[in-house]
Amino acid sequence: KVDQYAKAGIPFYWRIEQAATGVPIVYTYVLDPATKAYRDGEMFTGAIKAAAPFPVTVDLGTI
């Protein structure tokens, strides 16, 4: 599925997992336009404070 997103040119991809402790972990990926593959972005636990693709702050403890 991720390959399809990259092939479609979707510039950002976020994956959310639940750690064994029950805490959400958010992994972000950014599309490299030259290779059409995602590269690792940031990883968040506790709270997301991201600037791209738009400014957003989310307290993961409230999810």
Q: What is the dihedral of CA 56, 4, 25, 57, to 10 degrees?
A: 0
Model confidence, pTM = 0.83
pLDDT in tens, 12-30: 999 999 989 888 999 999 9
Q: Does the structure show a pLDDT above 80 at 55?
A: yes
pLDDT at position 4 is 94
